[in-house]
């Protein structure tokens, strides 16, 4: 073997063999055993299909959407807020820093800040979220099984508290919005009715529709009289002479009825009536009255809809619309699973061998070009 071959062998020993032995020695003789605790839960939302069918979908006005509850809970578990809550209830610093001098790789340094503890939290707590189903799995590592179980239990409890807070916020928002909509609809209904009352007071007309019907009755009566008079005129024309006074009298009656019909028709478009504020056009009053009736009917429909929405919001506020369903209670380990010694040793060996191979190939590439 030449000198360069011995250099390669020495580099392999220094870069691969010795680090692997150091890693194996640390994992098997220095690293402390860690225990795992697993829990699984999801956020469920109570359905109210019956109420939606009865009220025609108005229940949607008072409810929330739980499609993003899983993502919210996922971020909450990994947040600094959760770290502080678990620290207060379990004591993360005291537990994970107790082996700092013996196992500095897997332990927490004693003077860790809350930011350091938040970073360390992602090492000891693994959270997975299935976006399609909303299922959340949480795995916790600790130096003893009871602490791991206490941490997972604390995570479940604080997650339930957070869901309860979301429920309270959703219920308060739903009731507040429903009451605001109801107050708006009541105000609109009062204004519509007051405007209609003011119109009747000003015009001294309770219902122009009834007045129109009376006028139409007069028109129909005149039309019937005109038809009867025309028939009488035709009968007289066939039997009486041209100088018969009955013909001239019937003709005058026909002309009088036609003139009255013309005047009545013109009155619908041009007549003015005496109101509390003077003369006003009758057609404009009719148009104004119809607009007020439409406003009142719309206000009444809106009031009924918002009143139903308030009842739905009140009914939903009396029950818990969201709740945390724990399908895997926090487990209590009987044997240590962490650290994954064989897995970590294999990964370190593979990385070291890959790094040594790259360095060797780069060295030979430079040497051949030189």
345, 306: one domain = no
Q: Specify whether the CB–CB gap between 346 and 20 falls below 8 A.
A: no
Only one residue has tokens 């003011």, namely 198
Among 312, 331, 347, identify where a domain stops.
312
Q: Tell me the three state secondary structure of residue 142.
A: strand
DSSP letter for 107, please: S
The rounded distance, in Å, linking the Cα atoms of 153 and 61 is 36
Contact 326, 40 (CB under 8 A): yes
How many residues does this entry show for the chain? 370
Residues linked to residue 141 through DSSP beta bridges, in sequence order: 36
Determine the Cα–Cα distance for residues 369 and 215; give it in Å rounded to an integer.
113
Residue 248 and residue 350 share a domain: no
Considering the domain architecture, whether residues 288 and 246 belong to the same structural domain is answered as yes
Supply the pLDDT for residue 221.
85
Containing structural domain, residue 272: 182-312
In whole angstroms, what is the distance from residue 104 CA to residue 31 CA?
Answer: 9
CA atoms within 13 A on the CB side of 247: 11
Co-location of 223 and 265 in the same domain: yes
Query: What sections of 58-144 are H helices per DSSP?
Result: 69-77, 80-89, 92-96, 114-124
What are the b/e assignments for 82-103, b being 16+ CB within 10 Å?
A: bbebbbeebebbebbbebeeeb
CB 340 within 8 A of CB 33: no
Alpha-carbon distances of 281 from 216, 270, 288, 289, 295, rounded to whole Å: 18, 7, 11, 12, 21
Please choose, from the candidates 137, 127, 134, the residue with its C-alpha nearest in 3D space to the C-alpha of residue 67. 134
**Residue from 316, 320, 62, 305 nearest 177 by CA:** 62
**Pick from 19, 37, 277, 285: which is nearest to 142 by CA?**
37
Examine the domain organization and report whether 361 and 240 are in the same domain.
no
Supply the pLDDT for residue 352: 92
**How many Cα neighbours within 13 Å face the side chain of 28?**
9
Q: Is residue 42 part of a domain?
A: no
| H or E, element range at 343 | helix 341-369
User: Residue 279: its pLDDT value, please?
Assistant: 59
Q: How many CB atoms lie within 10 A of CB 52?
A: 15
The encoded tokens of residue 345 equal 């040793």
* Amino acid 252: pLDDT: 85
Stated pTM of the model: 0.62
Specify whether 344 is located in the same domain as 230. no
Among 312, 329, 349, give the residue marking a domain's end: 312
Longest dimension (CA), the chain: 155
Residue 249 confidence (pLDDT): 84
* Number of domains making up the chain: 2
Asked if residue 239 belongs to a domain, the reply is yes
b/e for 299-324, b at 16 or more Cβ within 10 A?
beebbebbbbbbbbbeebbeeebbbb
193 within some domain: yes
The pLDDT score that the predictor gives to residue 57 is 45
Residue 359 included in any domain: yes
Does any domain span residue 150? no
User: How far is C-alpha 52 from the geometric centre of its chain's CA atoms?
Assistant: 16
pLDDT less than 70: residues of the chain: 1, 46-67, 208-213, 242, 267-282, 317-321, 370
215 lies in the same domain as 304: yes
Residue 271, domain member (yes or no) = yes
Cα separation of 321 and 325, whole Å?
12
Distance CA 225, CA 165 (A): 79
Residues 303 and 343 in one domain: no
Q: Are residues 208 and 294 in the same domain?
A: yes
Domain end marker among 312, 331, 358: 312
Number of Cα atoms under 13 Å in the Cβ half of residue 93: 14
Residue 96 pLDDT: 92
Same domain, 273 and 218: yes
Q: How far apart are CA 82 and CA 59, in angstroms?
A: 34
DSSP 125: E
| 330 part of a folded domain | no
**Does one domain contain both 353 and 305?**
no
Per the CB < 8 A criterion, the answer to whether 73 and 136 are in contact is: yes
Is 51 contained in some domain? no
Q: Is the peptide bond before 260 cis (omega within 30 degrees of 0)?
A: no
């Amino acid at each position: 073997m030449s000198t360069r071959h011995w250099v390669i062998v020495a580099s392999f020993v220094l870069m691969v063999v010795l680090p692997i032995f150091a890693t194996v020695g640390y994992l098997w003789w220095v690293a402390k055993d860690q225990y795992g605790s697993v829990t699984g839960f999801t956020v469920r939302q109570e359905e109210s299909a019956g109420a939606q069918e009865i009220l025609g979908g108005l229940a949607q006005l008072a409810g929330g959407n739980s499609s993003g509850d899983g993502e919210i809970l996922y971020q909450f578990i990994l947040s600094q807020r959760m770290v502080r809550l678990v620290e207060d209830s379990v004591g993360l610093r005291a537990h994970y820093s107790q082996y700092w001098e013996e196992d500095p790789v897997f332990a927490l340094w004693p003077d860790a800040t809350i930011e350091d503890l938040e970073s360390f939290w992602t090492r000891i707590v693994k959270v997975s979220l299935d976006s399609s189903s909303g299922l959340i799995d949480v795995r916790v590592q600790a130096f003893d099984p009871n602490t791991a179980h206490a941490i997972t239990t604390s995570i479940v409890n604080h997650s339930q508290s957070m869901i309860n807070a979301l429920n309270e916020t959703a219920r308060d928002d739903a009731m507040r919005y429903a009451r605001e909509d109801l107050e708006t609809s009541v105000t609109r209904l009062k204004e519509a009715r007051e405007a209609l009352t003011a119109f009747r007071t000003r015009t001294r007309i309770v219902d122009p529709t009834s007045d129109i019907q009376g006028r139409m009755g007069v028109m129909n009566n005149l039309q019937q009289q005109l038809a009867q008079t025309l028939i009488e005129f035709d009968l007289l024309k066939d039997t009486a002479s041209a100088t018969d006074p009955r013909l001239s009298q019937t003709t005058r009656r026909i002309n009088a009825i036609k003139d009255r019909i013309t005047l009545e028709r013109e009155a619908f478009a041009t007549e003015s009536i005496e109101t509390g504020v003077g003369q006003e056009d009758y057609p404009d009053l009719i148009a104004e009255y119809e607009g007020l009736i439409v406003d009142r009917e719309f206000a009444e429909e809106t009031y009924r809809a918002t009143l139903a929405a308030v009842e739905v919001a009140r009914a939903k506020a009396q029950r818990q619309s969201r709740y945390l369903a724990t399908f895997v209670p926090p487990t209590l380990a009987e044997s240590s699973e962490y650290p994954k010694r064989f897995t970590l040793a294999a990964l370190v060996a593979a990385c070291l061998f890959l790094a040594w191979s790259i360095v060797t190939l780069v060295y030979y590439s430079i040497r051949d070009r030189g």
